[in-house]
Amino acid sequence: METKRSEIAVTVNGTRYGWPSQPVVVVCIDGGDPAYLRQALACGVVPNIDRFIETGFGAVADASMPSFTCPNNMSIITGTPTSAHGISGNYYLDTATGEAVVMTGPELLRGETILAGFARAGARVASITAKDKLRRQLGKGLDLSRGSVCFSSERAAQCTVEENGIADVRDLVGMSQPDIYSPELSLFVLEAGIRLLERDRPDLMYLSLTDWVQHKFAPEEKEAMAFYAAIDACFGRLAELHAVVALTADHGMSDKSNEAGRPRVIWLQDILDACFGKGETTVICPITDAFLLQHGALGGFVRVWCRGKTPASAILALVRGIEGVDLALDKEAACRLFDMPPDREGDVEVVSQPGWCIGAAEADHDLSGLVGHRLRSHGGLSEAKVPFILSHALNRDYRRKAASGVLRSYRIFDYAINGTRG
Ligand code: ZN
Ligand code: ZN
């Protein structure tokens, strides 16, 4: 006897997902700090989100630490904390070679993605990201031979059926190739999602934006509100196409400049070198990526590896006294507190206060891209609160769940799929 699709369940990384009765679209608003949403709701520029919160569900959830793009996108797409999926930043130090290793390869991602699990069970899925650096991990194990797609707006022009499951993305979307430093890079993702939903009606979609707007503009600035109005209109169109729309963010965003408009930076490698000597420690800034003009590789979280005789305890004693440091923890405490993977952690983790960021050696950071605007960045605990919004109301089980424990952003697929079923 044939099993009805509605009776199929898919288990991914220990979580059981029922078969969605209507398309489910999860959107990661990169850098979507709750402060932007508060401002946008107060200004009345996001009527669709307003309605979702009113008739569906709206809360603020905890993101994974460190509050960076890669760890949180992987948490959302696998439904697990970083301790399970292993992506702890954009870079970690390979202690065998002493080299910083980029962490965007799918081979470093542990476990399966929810999209790959559903595609394996016969679903049509779509993964669209603004930044190509995320694409290969989001597409890990994803079978593209049966109508599923995985592409980035950054490389929209280079899409092929073989690599992405789709070609001619610009034609589909009706937009030209957007610049990587533009709001259009995100809007392209949403437009593509809308067109695919109209054309193919995928069962599951993941749309991941970029935080260019939030790095550049504070919530009070008109450019930020124009962006929110534009993405809200897209959310409305997705809902009109009878999708369950779920909104979250990978992390928030804080102003990290002083009164003069200059970045307030702790140059940690310089401080450690001056105290313990060169070569004793290596500071890795896990925010480092190709989008340097946005943040100068300065974020609210860094890792320190002991490379000589200096013990972690001596580093902790020094670092805890530095102005602007929020928390300094050894590996064991950090992994316990933040549920992070020990084999990719440094010996010491340092988190900055909201108004501060942490760099390595001043000479190694290019801040030329920041001239003329205040540094806004993320990585710390102060940027680990994110919106958690659903267009549909929760069922009784999930209402209870939401009310009785800490809400984690990596549960958004679970809530959107299982929590909105009658
Ligand atoms: Zn991000
Ligand atoms: Zn960012």
184-231 pLDDT, tens digit each: 999 999 999 999 999 999 999 999 999 999 999 999 999 999 999 999
Q: What is the model's pLDDT at position 2? A: 60
Q: What is the model's pLDDT at position 112? A: 97
The helix (run of H) or strand (run of E) holding residue 292 is helix 292-295
How much distance in Å is there from the Cα of 102 to the middle of ligand 2? 16
How much distance in Å is there from the Cα of 4 to the middle of ligand 1? 39
| Proximal ligand: closest to the CA of 30 | 1
Contact at 8 Å (CB) between 405 and 399? no
pTM exceeds cut of 0.85: yes
Alpha carbon distance 137, 365 (integer Å): 27
Q: What is the model's pLDDT at position 121? A: 96
Protein residues placing their CB within 5 Å of the ion ligand 1: 30, 69, 211, 250
Q: Which residue reads 């939401």 in tokens?
A: 402
| Proximal ligand: closest to the CA of 384 | 1
C-alpha pair distances (Å), 1 with each of 21, 101, 119: 21, 51, 22
Please report the sign of the dihedral spanned by the C-alpha atoms of residue 217, residue 222, residue 226, residue 229.
positive
- Dihedral Cα 132, 117, 67, 375, nearest 10 deg: 20
C-alpha pair distances (Å), 121 with each of 207, 304, 409: 21, 42, 25
Residues of the chain below pLDDT 50: none
The b/e string for 366-392 (b: 16+ C-beta within 10 A; e otherwise) is: ebeebeeebbbbbbbbbbbbbbbbbbb
| Proximal ligand: closest to the CA of 295 | 2
Q: For the purposes of burial, counting CB atoms within 10 Å of the CB of 147, is it exposed (0-12), middle (13-18) or buried (19 or more)? A: middle
Q: For the purposes of burial, counting CB atoms within 10 Å of the CB of 107, is it exposed (0-12), middle (13-18) or buried (19 or more)? A: exposed
How much distance in Å is there from the Cα of 421 to the middle of ligand 2? 34
How much distance in Å is there from the Cα of 159 to the middle of ligand 1? 23
Q: What is the model's pLDDT at position 123? A: 97
Strands 325-330 and 281-284: unpaired
Q: Provide the terminal-to-terminal Cα distance of the chain, rounded to the nearest Å.
A: 25
Tell me: the pLDDT tens digits for 370-405?
888 899 999 999 999 999 999 999 999 999 999 998
Q: What is the model's pLDDT at position 1? A: 54
Alpha carbon distance 417, 24 (integer Å): 7
Where helices occur in 22-142 by DSSP H, the ranges are 34-43, 47-55, 69-78, 82-85, 114-120, 132-138
**Contacts for 312 with CB less than 8 Å, ≥ 6 apart:** 306, 330, 331, 347, 348
Q: What is the DSSP letter of 421?
A: -
How much distance in Å is there from the Cα of 215 to the middle of ligand 1? 9
